[in-house]
Structure formats: C-alpha cells, structure tokens
Structure 1
Amino acid sequence: MTQGPRNPIESVVSSHQKLLDELPFDDTTDFEDAKRGLIATADSCVIRNEDGGVVWDNDSYAFVSGQAPESVNPSLWRQSTLTSMQGLYEVIPDLVYQVRGFDASNLTLIEGDQGVIAVDPLVSAETAAAALDLYREHRGQRPVTAVIYTHCHADHYGGVKGVTTQEDVDAGRCAVFAPEKFVEHLVTEWVYAGGAMARRISYMYGTVLDRGPQGQVGVGLGQTNSTGAITLINPTIEITETGQEHTVDGLRIVFQLAPGTEAPAEMHFYLPDHQALCVAENATHTQHNLLTLRGAEVRDAHAWAHYVQEMIDMFGRTAETIFSPHHWPMWGNERIVEFLSLQRDLYAYMHDQTLRLLNKGYTGIEIAEMMTLPPALEKAWHTRGYYGSVSHNVKAIYQRYMGWFDGNPAHLWQHPPEEQGKRYVEYMGGSAAVLERARKSFDDGDLRWVAEVVSHVVFAEPDNTEAKELLADALEQLGYGAENGTWRNIYLAGAYELRRGNFGTPVSSRSADTLAQLTPPQIFDALAVQIDGPRSWDDVIKLDVVLPDADTTYRVLLRNGVLTHTAAPASTPADVTITVPANRLFAALTAADPTDAGAQISGDGSALARLAGYIDAPDPDFEIVMP
C-alpha cells in the first residue's frame, strides 16, 4: 500500500481559517528580531560528512515562505518560516554572534580577549565545524578558548569536536563548562533508554518524511536534527551552585543552575558587564515539553517556573539582550522581563491548574481537554504549542504526581493493544462494520475517533489493507491540522509506515564518542539493562574486571537474572577475569572477541561467552503504529 499523500479535508481547512482569524498574524515583531543583525548566509546550507553523505540540508526547506498551504497549520507555518532562516547574525556588536539554521540548535559564539567561547555546539561535528567556518570567514580566525554546554541533550554538545579537540582540552587551551551531573544525566537519558528513544525520535522529528507542504516542515524548536557524528568531550569545570562566577577569556560570567527543568542538568548564564543573558532552553519562542514525545523523565513544571522567576530576580533588572541555543534573540529590558514573566506564568499555570483539577478527581486525559490558557498566554506567539503542547504537558504533570494509573479499577489490568483490538472489533460487529462507521466519522471530521477505532482493527487484523488505508488517511489529516511540529511529524510518520512499511531507525542515540566517555559503573549498568532475565536466571557467573590504568578491580556478578557490580574486594574466586584499559572496557565487553579490543582473558572463557549470550540488544526497528 503506497498511496498518498491526500489533500486536506474541509474540516482541517476550516480549522486553519479559524486560527488565522484568532491569532495576531499582523504582528511581525518576531520576524524583525529574527532578521536583525544578519551578516551573511551560506550560499548553500547543505553539509556533508567525510564520505560525502548529507548530514544537514536546510536548503530543502526553501519552500517554507509566503502564505501557508492548506495542508499545514498556519501558526506552525509561521514558526517554521522563522526557524528555517540561516546565516551568521550579530547579537551584540564585537561580542555575541550566532550561526542559526545549521542544525536543530544555534551555535552561539562569544568573543573574548584571546579567542571565542562556543556555546552549545549543535548536534553533529560536521554542522558545528561548518557553522564555525562561517563565523570565522567574517569575524576572523579566532581560536575556541572555551565551550559551554548549557544542558545534557545531544543538540547542545554533540558537535563539540567540530569546534575544538580533545587534545586542546587536555592541554588546557580550551575549558569545557557544564552543569553538575551533566554526564550522569546524559547517560541515563540517552544510553539506558536510548534504543527506544531513537526509534521514537524518527517519528517525532519526521526523519524519513519528504520535506514539503504535505510532509515535514519543521519541529517547532528548529527544523530537524542533523545526522552527522555525535561527539562528546567531558566537562573540565562543573557549575555546582547558582551565583558561581568565572572569568572566561577575559569575560565575567555568572551561572544559574536550573536542574529538573527542560533537562535534568541545565543552567543559564549572564554576562554582567554586557547585560546579556543566555536562558538555555527554558525560555524559547515556543511552549516547551514537560514530557518529550520521544520519551524521557517527566520534567518539573513547578521548578521550571521557579527558576524562570529566579532568573528575573537575578538578572531582570539589568538584562538588555536575551539569547538562547534555539530561535532568535530579543532586545530591551522591558520586553525581556515581560517575555520571561509570560514564560514563567505558562508553566506555573499549567502546573497549578492541573493540581487543582486532579485534586477534584479529574484524570490527566480529562484535564488536558478542560485546560484553556489565559488570554494573554493564548495570544503570545512564544507560548504557543509548537514543540510542547497544553495537551501532552498537562498529562505529563498528572503523570509526575499521580503516575500512569488514573484510579479507575477498570484501567488497572487492561488487555494489551492486540488483545484489546480483537475484542473491540468483535464487540462492534466485525471489521467491516467498524470501517463502515469509521468512514462516516471521517467524512464528519471526527478524525480523533477514526484514529482510535480503526487502530483497534489494525491491531486485530494487521493484514487488513482497507483498515490501514483509512487509519493512514485519518493520521495524515490530523497531521495537517496540528499546530505542534512534533505532533504533525508523529501523525505523518504513522501514515507513512502504514502505507509503505516500517522505516526503522535512521538515527542512533549511541555514538561511539558518548560510549567512550562512560565510567565503568555506567558501562556495567548499561549492560545490566540488556540482560535477558528469564534466559539467565538459572546461571551464576562471577567476572572480575581488572583496569590496570585505574588501579581498580570490579566484581561483576550475574545471579537471578541480575547483573550487579562492586569495587569491594571479592571473597570468592572469579570464574573468569578480563584485564583491559578503562577506555577499552565497553568495546571489550561488547565485542565478539574481547581480545580484539585489547583485553586479556584468564580463567573460564566459556563463562564470558555465556554472559555475552545473555545480552539482548535493543531492537531498533520495533513496531509503533502496527502490532
């Protein structure tokens, strides 16, 4: 089944017109800010890796201009028009510059006495290098004297080796700043659950969708993620408290920690001598995620609002410029304080009203349907739901406080989707009857119900072509209507797979550079979550891991299907011992032959082989829209 895409139906077109009438599309302030300070654009914003493969193509979004087509929500079209702009921009003369449109995030460059500080160096080394080249072409060959990671998501550190080298960092020529527990949280988010996240990212970002009015137009926070080499250099200086001040390449920088907000490890910083504030990803030109649709820890809306208020208290009286690793800057103290105040109110309102209503007995799904933002927040472009949304953020707040269970006993032990599907279809009179009714609902514009009901048919009868076609059509129309960029991509990606089959996982969360930075305990934990418990619970394996360069020996024990580790001296002999340099440990434990990774093995080699055989690697191509 390879039909589509189809044209938008009347109910979708009508909803777009309603939005055009309600929102202040005549307000062009964001466009003025986004264009301000443009120095130069790249002749072509197509970036390739060493093998010639394209890792970034901003030129493919050239179609995003002018009036919104009927197949794209006009508010999302406006946002994508802004986020698709590319080039080198002057934010503060002779001090702060940004390269925008070279990845999902911005590369901010702050000029110091001897060189330049690189802030949040994009997703990939290739795009970061290209962005730095554009800067140097117009501002000179300044060396990178420091890197600042504002938080622990890949689009804020992954391109670091495109702007500096491990050798320069080790030699002290380039410092790397990050909030405390940066690497710890990076590992728990991107390594432990990285396999599932990578698959879902391909839906969320519409990775394989065609770029065009009936395909991917952006994600609200930017256009998409680049697909080059994700690199990592560990921080050399951790920020451990708010108010911590460092002089970096002649510039005074005051840091503010904001843990548990957009990332579990996140910080803002201020240049007091220049009245310039970097807000990281906690105050951008969109409502952000409290639970990203790729999956992650639920973020704390209450803490988010608190840290924005603290930012106002610390810097709001003097800040004249505000900039972020996403979107475009703003200027003027009064505007900045109002912007931050509305962002604070956004997260505080959703948090407080969700708690008010859950304490009246409403569930997350019910509260999401009831929640309406105050008029001031509804009308502000930067609080619109292009990346996060009121709907899924409210459900996230409910989940944070109450968990997955809504209290209804009928929902405590439900059948899984395939079994539900079979029973629903049978109770509704068979698939033909369901589809007949669903087509009428489709014609009536009740797309949400069509998607829910027909999904049961697809899970009950995976080979039912008619059901897959109708479900794909419904998801496509829901995508056309979505103001949220990631919702659009998820709907359209689902339609794509229903029509063309599983597209797999085009991106990986497990870059070699990231894995090389793991500590031994993090490596053991990463392996522990891959152990097939039922297959291994009758086996006992005692493995000693000797790291001569670290002068440490770990006892790794498989018992009852659980892999544990300790550095305490063992009281019993090991079945097998592996001796390996610490920086080769991950490679040795995951290689078919550990000696190929420079390891030495003594004792019962079959025990090591048994252990390797119990590792159940993530499935990068698991089904989402199909059973």
Structure 2
Amino acid sequence: MPMTRDPAADARAPKPATEATRKAHAALAARLPLDDDADFARAERGLLRRGVEAEVLPTAAPGTVNPSLWRQARLNALAGLFEVTEGVYQVRGYDLANVTFVRGARGWIVVDPLTAAETAAAALRTLREHFADGRPVTAVVYTHCHVDHFAGIRGVVTDEQVASGEVRIIGPEGFLEHAVSENVIAGTAMSRRALYMYGLMLPKGERGHVDTGLGRGVAGGTWGLVPPTETVSETGTELLVDGVRMVFQVTPGTEAPAEMNFLLPDQRALCLAENCTAVQHNLYTPRGAEVRDALAWSGYIDEALRAYAPAADVVFASHHWPRWGAQEITAYLTKQRDAYRYLHDQTMRLANQGLVAAEIAEELELPPGLADEFFLRDYYGTVNHNAKAVYQKYLGWFDANPAHLHPLPQVEAAQRYVAYMGGADAVLARARADFAAGAYRWVAEVVNHVVFADPANQEARLLQADTLEQLGYQAESGPWRDFYLTGAQELRQGTPNAPGLRTPVQPDVLRGMPGAMLLDFLAVRLDGPRAATRSLRLALHLTDAGSTHLVELSHGTLHHSAGEDAPGAVRLDRATLARLADDPSLLDAALADGSVSAPEAGANDLRELLQLLVAFDLFFPVIEP
C-alpha cells in the first residue's frame, strides 16, 4: 500500500538550499582560497594519537553549509593528541576548547581542563595511554573564567588533592568572581540564548549544527568549579610550577574579564589563552555578556608581540592549532592586533562622522591583508556585530534619532506595521515574492512583524522559518548559523514547553559564591511591583560561608550589608537558601529538619521574602511573543 505524504509535516521539515543560497556560496568560494592547505598542515602537525571522536568530513561542502565554515569545521574535526613542542602537548577536538598538558619535573601541569569532567578525563586518559608513564597531575592553570576552560576540573583532579596541597590551582586575579557572576545574575537568559548560539537543540548534520567556528561544539557532562589556590595579578609574574618556569601576562577585559597569557621560557612556547585563535573573536557574544574592549585587546596583543613573542618558537592557544617560527608568529600576532584596533578605530571614525551602529556594520570591512586571512574570518565573531559592539561600548543602544528614543514594544508595533501594510495576507504575498528572489534579510524583518502580530499564523511562521533557514545556510559564522536554524526549528515546532525547567545554581558555583553575591541574585528575582508596599528587616547567617547579612526590603528593592551573628539571626547554608528561593513551600520542612534555624519572627520574615521572589523558567519565548 503506497505511503501518503503529510503536507503539514513536509512544511515543517528542513529544506534544501535554494538557488539563491547556492549562488551566494559559489560567489564566496570564488573569492577565497579554500584549497589552501596550510592550516590543515598546522592542524595535523605533531599528531601523536588520533582521538576516539575524530571525524573526517568530506572536502566538498554540502549546499546547505557555507563553504568557508565547512572548511573550518573540517579543521576543527581533526581530533587527537598533538605535540606542540617538546614537553608541551594538546588534546584537541574533544570539547569546544583545547586542553594543554605541560610535562613537569614530577607530573603533568594541566592548562584549561575543558567544559565537562568526562571530556577532561578522556583527554587525560589519551595522554596517559600514549606516554604510559603514570605521572600524576601536579597543577592546573586556568587561563580565564569561561566555563569551557575550567568546568571539567574534576576529570583531572579531586577536591582532596587540592585541599592537601598536592595539586596547585592557578588562575588570573578576579577569576572566581567572574566565573561565578557570569553564571548567576544573568544565568537563565544566557543559558537560553546559549541554546541558540551553540545549536544545542539542533540535530548535528548538514541541515543542522555543523561547527561553532571556535570548535566542534559544547560538550555535555558534569560541570564543576574548584577555586584557584593562588592567583596572578601582575604582568611579569614568574612562577616555578612543578619545576617549569611560567611567566604570566595578565590581560583583563579582553576575551574574558579575567584572563592571562603565559610564556614557557625554557620550552620557548607562548600560550595566548583565547586572545588569539583561528577566528575573529567576539567583541560582543550573541549569548549575552558585557561588551569587550577592542582597544585594550589590541593593546595586550601588542604587548605580547613585543615582550613575549621574541622568546617563543611556537604560540598556541585554548582553541585551534599552534603557529611555529618567528616569521609566522610575528605576522599572526601583528594581524590579530591590527584587526581589533581597526574594528575599534574605524567604527568610532564612522560614528564621529554621524553613522549609527547599523550603518557602520554595513559599511565596515577589514582591509586587504586582514580580510583575506582565514584566522580573521567571521567564523565566530563577525565584523558586522563586532562593529555594533564597539559602538555600544561608547555610545550605548540609542542612535540619537528621537524616533527611536521611545518606540512601541514589539507586539504593538508589529500589529500596527501589519495593519499599515494591508494585513497579513498582503504582507505574506509580497514576502513570498521576495523570498523567491533571495531577499532573505528583508523577508525575515518583514515576516517577523506578522509572527509577532499573530503568533498563531502558521503561514507566517513557516515562511519565516524557511527564510531563517536559508540565512543559516549562508552564514559563515557558526553562531549565526545556529541562531538562524534554532529560530527556524522553534517556529516550526513551537517554543519548547517545559514550565518549571530552570538553570539551577550549581553546587560548585554556590561554594565559590560570596553570600553577598547570592543575595544580589535574589534581589534580581524580587518582584518589585508586588514588593513595593512591603517592608521587612532580617538577619541571615549563612553557616557555610561564615557570614551574616542584614537584609532590608524597601520600596521594591532588596538591600544587604555585612553584620554580626546574633541569636535572632536566621541560620542556613547557601544551598538551602537557593533551594528555598526556587520553592518557598519547602521552608516548613527545612525548619522541621533543622536545615533552617530561626526564631518565629525571623522565620515569618524569611517566608514573606521568599514568597516575593519569582522563578526564571529556561524556555522563555525568543522567536515569538
């Protein structure tokens, strides 16, 4: 019996590349030397052991993937254990980042232990299987405070090894504060946006997630945080770590708010952390974070070029593959330095000539000599959104046009746009013609109004999905591709419906979080309008942190200050406070089992405060109101 097709299912299925997309790919391929194999030689150099997750991608890009991004994906797929130089090794391709191992006098120094304990443990196992020497881990170095460089820590060391002093943990000054704060105050919003940026809900393949540009993808698994036992605060600091000399360059406010490079002078190897990789990086990350300082970034690369590069025969980083030889190192650092400076200076030149962020982003291009370098292509950050980031850093969201000072909110504006344009049917008729002509950016802007005016309009949702999909296929940037394709997926399938699914504060984050930071997080969760007419004061003693905080509710705001422990204080640990904030109904049980100790008045005040907090569900709508 012949199978019948389901037209509705077909409409919601991923589509092939259109002729317009194929032409765009062909035009880009004609401009770039995609057959240049120099990076493939670099990425394969020093291979000691092929990784178990290694994947060989075909040379030819499928029609649904930008050919330049496909080239980058092929490079990032080269997984395994590599020798950087004698005594310095990297495992690449197991996670979003690289983990580096430096041979010490007694054991291994681990640099940036990945995102998950499982991937870090697999990398260490690969190293040990190759060398078969049974050497212990003697130290861990965090180059910066992003999760893909520290959260796999428990795959290489135990808490007991750190507590005993057997293993040193070294990080830049401010590491713990920034590692914790980035995952708390805006944690839910960042997590939701990260699902888009890294394509975490997409199927892997030529019509789904292909590559982030920075690496194959974010690893799932067990997340952890062990605070540094010592920090580096000054450039030029030299430490002897398991017999290995390490000279540090602190680079705050560059790719991360707390970051550092380091030189291994005896190995003549320079680690550039994530400040110089084989992509143009983000000055603004689409998952959301503070805008980064392009001027400072360029300045720190210049410092590395002048003060550290002459002492190095190889430079390596927390992503991608190394560069060898003085000539190549100098050219690489010079062009990285110049790219971030060019983005900064030329954005502000155009801003001072009256152009606004969107106009600058359309006009600005890297000049010849920079634009034609693969390590400055738009695989992760892009010239377009980085220019907007520079503008934002200096001038903020407002472009000075009074019409943009107080615009209507999205839904009301969308309803009026659609009405002015003659109704949804008229908009969609014109949009379909523009889609056929390949005007995808315009179709996405216009049809978005129809979706926000009436999210139940299936014709609009499916046309918008088809449009975002083609934009994703054309994107050279891995994050842009994943944003577009995740938006298309949710338009077709609906925003995931998982009420109550939240991003809990991880136990390791709680252990590293000062009590004051936890209370700041609760202040963000306070329902200000509902709390505006309420007032209370209570003393909270956080038993595991050993700190007492005087908490005041005033005019819809929550204030706290350091205080002294007193008999009337509410006593509980940070994990219990975080759990009660998520579910205030647990307070009576906590009082009964002793995990909360409080006089009646203090318990009542705590109950009132908890009931004024809101919970943040992870799957809030993005592509619909």
Same fold (TM over 0.5): yes
* Conserved? CA contact 1:20–1:74, under 8 Å: yes
SS of the equivalent of 1:394 reads helix
Displacement of 1:326 in angstroms is 0.5
Within the alignment, does 1:405 sit opposite 2:398 as a pair? Answer: yes
* Conserved? CA contact 1:222–1:326, under 8 Å: yes
Equivalent residue number for residue 610 of structure 1: 608
2: CA distance, partners of 1:588 / 1:509: 12
Map 1:182-261 onto structure 2 (within 5 A). Answer: 182-261=175-254
Map 1:494-505 onto structure 2 (within 5 A). Answer: 494-503=487-496
2: CA distance, partners of 1:326 / 1:509: 28
Displacement of 1:599 in angstroms is 2.8
- Equivalent AA in structure 1 for residue 234 of structure 2: E
Equivalent in 466, 473, 476 of residue 480 of structure 1: 473
Equivalent residue number for residue 363 of structure 1: 356
- Equivalent AA in structure 1 for residue 596 of structure 2: A
Displacement of 1:31 in angstroms is 0.3
Equivalent in 61, 81, 84 of residue 91 of structure 1: 84
1: CA distance, partners of 2:454 / 2:66: 33
Displacement of 1:552 in angstroms is 3.9
Displacement of 1:515 in angstroms is 2.2
Matched-pair identity in %: 48
Within the alignment, does 1:391 sit opposite 2:384 as a pair? Answer: yes
SS of the equivalent of 1:191 reads coil
1: CA distance, partners of 2:261 / 2:504: 25
Aligned pair in 2 of structure 1 residues 209, 305: CA closer, same or farther (>3 Å)? Answer: same
Equivalent residue number for residue 343 of structure 2: 350
Equivalent residue number for residue 556 of structure 1: 551
* Conserved? CA contact 2:152–2:223, under 8 Å: yes
Displacement of 1:512 in angstroms is 2.3
* Conserved? CA contact 1:520–1:585, under 8 Å: no
- Equivalent AA in structure 1 for residue 21 of structure 2: V
1: CA distance, partners of 2:502 / 2:444: 27
Aligned pair in 2 of structure 1 residues 584, 235: CA closer, same or farther (>3 Å)? Answer: farther
Displacement of 1:88 in angstroms is 1.0
* Conserved? CA contact 1:534–1:561, under 8 Å: yes
- Equivalent AA in structure 1 for residue 419 of structure 2: E
Equivalent residue number for residue 56 of structure 1: none
Displacement of 1:390 in angstroms is 0.3
- Equivalent AA in structure 1 for residue 306 of structure 2: D
2: CA distance, partners of 1:416 / 1:589: 31
Equivalent residue number for residue 137 of structure 1: 129
Aligned pair in 2 of structure 1 residues 323, 461: CA closer, same or farther (>3 Å)? Answer: same
* Conserved? CA contact 1:425–1:460, under 8 Å: yes
Equivalent residue number for residue 4 of structure 2: none
SS of the equivalent of 1:150 reads coil
- Equivalent AA in structure 1 for residue 600 of structure 2: G
SS of the equivalent of 1:378 reads coil
Segment of structure 1 superposing worse, 286-295 or 317-326: 317-326
Deviations 1:214-267 (A, max 9, x none): 111011001111121110001111111111110000011000011111001111
Equivalent residue number for residue 26 of structure 2: 17
- Equivalent AA in structure 2 for residue 600 of structure 1: S
Equivalent in 510, 522, 541 of residue 515 of structure 1: 510
Displacement of 1:65 in angstroms is 2.5
Within the alignment, does 1:332 sit opposite 2:325 as a pair? Answer: yes
1: CA distance, partners of 2:174 / 2:71: 37
Equivalent residue number for residue 35 of structure 1: 44
* Conserved? CA contact 2:581–2:613, under 8 Å: no
2: CA distance, partners of 1:515 / 1:351: 37
Segment of structure 1 superposing worse, 243-252 or 556-565: 556-565
Equivalent residue number for residue 572 of structure 2: 580
Displacement of 1:548 in angstroms is 5.5
Equivalent residue number for residue 626 of structure 1: 624
Displacement of 1:268 in angstroms is 0.4
* Conserved? CA contact 2:188–2:502, under 8 Å: no
Equivalent residue number for residue 166 of structure 1: 159
* Conserved? CA contact 1:176–1:237, under 8 Å: yes
Equivalent residue number for residue 3 of structure 2: none
Equivalent residue number for residue 55 of structure 1: none
Deviations 1:338-372 (A, max 9, x none): 10110001100010000100001100100000001
Aligned pair in 2 of structure 1 residues 399, 508: CA closer, same or farther (>3 Å)? Answer: same
2: CA distance, partners of 1:353 / 1:229: 43
* Conserved? CA contact 1:219–1:485, under 8 Å: yes
Aligned pair in 2 of structure 1 residues 551, 619: CA closer, same or farther (>3 Å)? Answer: closer
Deviations 1:304-334 (A, max 9, x none): 0000000011112121111111111111111
Structure 1: where are the runs of 5+ without partners? 46-58
Segment of structure 1 superposing worse, 409-418 or 84-93: 84-93
Aligned pair in 2 of structure 1 residues 352, 205: CA closer, same or farther (>3 Å)? Answer: same
Structure 2: where are the runs of 5+ without partners? 1-7
Equivalent residue number for residue 102 of structure 1: 94
Aligned pair in 2 of structure 1 residues 420, 582: CA closer, same or farther (>3 Å)? Answer: closer
Deviations 1:423-478 (A, max 9, x none): 00000000000000001111111100000000000000111010001000000000
Segment of structure 1 superposing worse, 502-511 or 193-202: 502-511
* Conserved? CA contact 1:588–1:598, under 8 Å: no
* Conserved? CA contact 1:425–1:431, under 8 Å: yes
2: CA distance, partners of 1:550 / 1:199: 30
* Conserved? CA contact 1:120–1:150, under 8 Å: yes
2: CA distance, partners of 1:526 / 1:551: 19
Aligned pair in 2 of structure 1 residues 544, 391: CA closer, same or farther (>3 Å)? Answer: same
Displacement of 1:588 in angstroms is 6.2
SS of the equivalent of 1:379 reads coil
Equivalent residue number for residue 112 of structure 1: 104
* Conserved? CA contact 1:116–1:145, under 8 Å: yes
Equivalent residue number for residue 82 of structure 1: 75
* Conserved? CA contact 2:259–2:273, under 8 Å: yes
Equivalent residue number for residue 5 of structure 2: none
Map 1:528-543 onto structure 2 (within 5 A). Answer: 528-543=523-538
SS of the equivalent of 1:527 reads helix
Q: How many residues align?
A: 607
Equivalent in 432, 457, 461 of residue 439 of structure 1: 432
1: CA distance, partners of 2:220 / 2:513: 22
